[in-house]
Structure formats: C-alpha cells, structure tokens
Amino acid sequence: MKKLINDPANVVPETLKGFAAANADIVTVHLDPDYVVRADAPKQGKVGLVSGGGSGHEPLHAGFVGVGMLDAAVPGAVFTSPTPDPILEATKAVDGGAGVLHIVKNYTGDVLNFETAAELADMEGITVKAVVVNDDVAVEDSTWTAGRRGVAGTVLVEKIAGAAAERGDDLDAVVAVAEKVIGQVRSMGVALTACTVPHAGKPSFDLGEDEIEMGVGIHGEPGRARQPLVSANEITDQLVDAILHDMNLSGGQVLLFVNGMGGTPESELFIVYGHARERLEAAGLEVTRSLVGNYITSLEMQGCSVTVLKLDDELTELWDAPVNTAALRRGI
C-alpha cells in the first residue's frame, strides 16, 4: 500500500484539519465529534441541509458545504457511516429555526444512523425531514444496501436542494425539490481497478489487468458483471444504455454528469463525456447542462460513473444558482 498518510487510524482527523486550514473562509470544522459546517452557520430563517457518510469519497460531502449547497457534512471513518451523535451535533449547529433536511445516500448504516439522529433532534425541538438518494441503476440490492445505492446523483441533489434552501424555500418545498431530483436522476459506474482502504492495507477486491467491474458501487461493491476490458466508447455505451433503459425518456433537456472515481485522468473523463453526449443526443435528448470531474470518489479507484438528470425550467434555474464551496464554485 502506497499512500500519502501517516497513521491509518488518523486519516480522517488529519484530513479534516488540512481541509479546515485550506478553506477557513468557507467552513468551520469541528473535531470529536467530527462535522463540518458553513462558516456563517446557522443562518436564521433558512432551512439547513445536512449530509454525510463514510469518508473516502472526497470531495463529497465536506467539499460541498457552503453558500448555495450544504450547511453541514458529517464524515465517518473511511467507508463507514457516521454515528448518530455527530449527525445530531451537525443538525443542531445549522438549525436556523426553519427546520433541517437530511440528504442520505441509500446505505443501511447511513439510513439508520440519520434516522436515529433525526429522532434525537426532534426531542430537542428541531424539525427534521429526510430524503434518501438511490440513483444507481446497476443493481437492486447490494452489500450494505436494501434497494438501489445512492451514488453520484447525490451531488446533484445537494446542489439543487441547496439552491432552493438558499433562495428561501420552506422545508416542505426544499424536500419536494430534492425528491423531484431523486425521481429524475440515474447513474451507473465502472471500475478499472480496485481501491485500498487505509486501515485494510490491501485492495478491496481482486480485478485482473484485463478486467473491469461493470456497475461497481462506490465502496467497491459488486456490480452487474465482471468482464474483459474494452474501449472507452464500448464501456460508455453500456453505462448509457442501462441509464436510458431505466429512465425511458422521450426527448427533453438533461444534465450529463461524468464523474471520476478518484484515479482516472480528467482527459479520460472527457473522452467518456464526449461519447455519452453523442449517445444522448442520438436518443433525442438535449444536453443543456454538464459536469465533468472527480466529485464523488472511491479513494484511488480508476473508473468513472455516468449520471443523467432530466431537467425542467425549475431544476435548470436551481442548478445555475450561485454556489461557493471548496469543490464547486460559480456565480459568486
């Protein structure tokens, strides 16, 4: 294992200390329990947005804390859900009196721990609602998951719901926007290599030099099939075909998001994006918004995911709204 770390047991706190120092104008980082809040939290009269999950997916979630997106992020150990205590503390820290929305990726530990934290917050007089992101079309049930997994679509939910909260929507309206995105976004990923969790010290699964894992999860969970390596266009075809089959779209505008898993050069992501866009346009869809880069990773895994979001005027307006976070900035 070759990693730029000191002690595997200290990866998360050392990451947070560095992140805090580099982004002190945007966030405030709390340690023990670990959580990250926007520097001006709580914003009175504004719905607070909290998300979180296991570390190792950076910049998700802490990189998306700031104006126009999340109010707080709660990182657990690498690939391990945070416990209810830090989720509760983060929820309290961003409560401005208008309620708090929990954005939860569909993994059993995340769902249970966020539910528990919401119950504890309710006992302290904080109104909490939750949405569960489950955009992965690869498999229905997988390791750590009942139903579909929450993957790259989470970034789009956080951005669009965050914009709704920033413009002053009430809690029910922000929930409705988040649910709308969840209902209209689909993703699927592929791994060219495995990743190595620091405290494990070895790759999370075995993959031959000439093999890929089609439909891989963001923790290295099994996908649809292990198959021989083929060209970028052939891989992209499989990802796009699965998404289009599930969405059953007949025209309209979409956002196309090609996400890197952490170890893939941006040049390769643009190769995938170019062919994915051609495929969507050939299917009668108009790609009006795009995002390409490493936004929800799996440590150093080589691979990518493709995400498609069906847009309308409201979602486009919210996507275009100003945002100022460590990982996504525009319009401010």
Distances from the Cα of 180 to the Cα of 138, 157, 160, 229, 288, angstroms: 21, 9, 10, 36, 18
Reading the block at residue 67, the tokens are: 């104006």
Which residue in the block uniquely carries the two structure tokens 């990866």? 11
Nearest-angstrom CA–CA distance, 305 and 187: 7
Contact 126, 91 (CB under 8 A): yes
Please list the active-site residues.
Answer: 57, 219
To 5 degrees, how large is the angle CA 190–CA 191–CA 196? 145
Map tokens 């982004």 to a residue: 23
How many H-runs (helices) and E-runs (strands) does the chain carry? Answer: 8, 15
Q: Which of 185, 186, 160, 187 is nearest to 175 (CA)?
A: 160
Judge whether 170 and 47 are in contact, CB under 8 Å. yes
Please provide the DSSP assignment of 247-308 as one string.
H---SEEEEEEEEE-BSS-HHHHHHHHHHHHHHHHHTTEEEEEEEEE-SS--TTB-EEEEEE
Listed residue (140, 296, 270) closest to 218, CA to CA: 296
How do beta strands 35-38 and 72-78 pair?
antiparallel
Q: How would DSSP label each residue in 87-138?
A: HHHHHHHT--SS-EEEEEES-HHHHHHHHHHHHHHHHTT--EEEEEE--B-S
> In one letter, which amino acid is 181?
V
